[in-house]
Amino acid sequence: AQSVTQLDSQVPVFEEAPVELRCNYSSSVSVYLFWYVQYPNQGLQLLLKYLSGSTLVKGINGFEAEFNKSQTSVHLRKPSVHISDTAEYFCAVSSKTSYDKVIFGPGTSLSVIP
Amino acid sequence: EAGVAQSPRYKIIEKRQSVAFWCNPISGHATLYWYQQILGQGPKLLIQFQNNGVVDDSQLPKDRFSAERLKGVDSTLKIQPAKLEDSAVYLCASSPWRGTDTQYFGPGTRLTVL
């Protein structure tokens, strides 16, 4: 079974500052990793996914994530945030043998301050 | 391409009443998911369909929740009778086929049980 921990429930950051949202996972099998974003009153949208290959993954809207297998982490980063990045961010994991079964973390609320 | 459609967007009912939610996935998507997202938590899978068959309903509280996808296209999720703890956002997602790692989410239905 897999589980996901998002270390910060809320992250306030000033506009144009960098941000890092932290995610750790546990699993006894190889996994795929995902970051989803949920804007207010909207459904979830895929930001990026790590399936294999390079551990640095680039996503949409200028976000990127680095997968660290030894630390079982996949932290999400953006060098300069915009007001429009204010949203809920979910880290998620699925096993490579059952990758349509996605386990979501509790989410991190990113608030960008003008 | 039209996205996943859900209705209603909001619903307020009293406990012990019944409620139904509707989802129309992206055209041609064979796999459909229903998730429950309680405030402050990540989405939790309730049921997964492949065409009109159930793939996984292990986390569906079957004493009160039911779901169907009779023609393998749109789907309904029903709660009868509702409890206070059912207050949540109910998200529908779809993917082209079961082996796809990316799910496309609808805007959700926010249910409040009084």
Q: How far is CA A61 from CA A11, A28, A64, A75, B24, in A?
A: 18, 32, 9, 16, 27
- Residue B97 — very low, low, confident or very high, per pLDDT cuts 50/70/90? confident
The 3-state DSSP class for residue A79 equals coil
- Distance, in Å, from the CA atom of B82 to the CA atom of B98, rounded to the nearest integer, reads 30
Averaged pLDDT for residues B36-60: 92
Under a CB-based contact definition with an 8 Å cutoff, are residues A87 and A11 in contact?
no
Q: Number of A:B CB contacts under 8 A?
A: 55
Find the mean pLDDT for residues B64-69. 96
What is the spatial distance between Cα B28 and Cα A98, in angstroms, rounded to a whole number? 22
Helices (H) then strands (E): counts for chain A = 0, 12
Is the CB of A64 inside 8 Å of chain B's CB atoms?
Answer: no
Q: Which residues contact B59 (CB under 8 A, 6 or more apart)?
A: B44, B45, B46, B47
pLDDT bin (cut points 50, 70, 90) of residue B100 is: low
User: Is the C-alpha dihedral spanning B41, A34, A42, B109 positive or negative?
Assistant: negative
Count the helices and strands in chain B (H runs, E runs).
0, 11
Tell me whether residues A43 and B93 touch, CB distance under 8 A. Answer: yes
d(CA A33, CA A21): 14
The minimum CA-CA distance between B90 and chain A, rounded to whole Å, is: 10
Contacts of A92 in chain B (CB under 8 A): 42
- Secondary structure (DSSP) of B49-70: EETTEEEE-TTS-TTTEEEE-T
Query: pLDDT tens string for chain A (114 positions)?
Result: 788 999 999 999 999 999 999 999 998 888 889 999 999 888 899 999 988 788 899 999 999 999 888 889 999 999 999 999 999 999 999 887 776 788 999 999 999 999
Phi, psi of A60 (to 5 degrees): -85, 165
Identify the H or E element spanning B44: strand B44-50
- Separation between Cα atoms, residue B84 and residue B68, nearest integer Å: 23
CB A91 within 8 A of CB A31: no
pLDDT for residue B76 is more than 70: yes
Choose from A100, A102, A104 for mutation: most chain B CBs within 10 A.
A100
Instruction: For chain B, positions 76-95, list CB contacts with chain A under 8 A.
Output: 91, 93, 95
How would you classify the pairing of strands B65-68 and B19-24? unpaired
> For residue B57, is pLDDT > 90?
yes
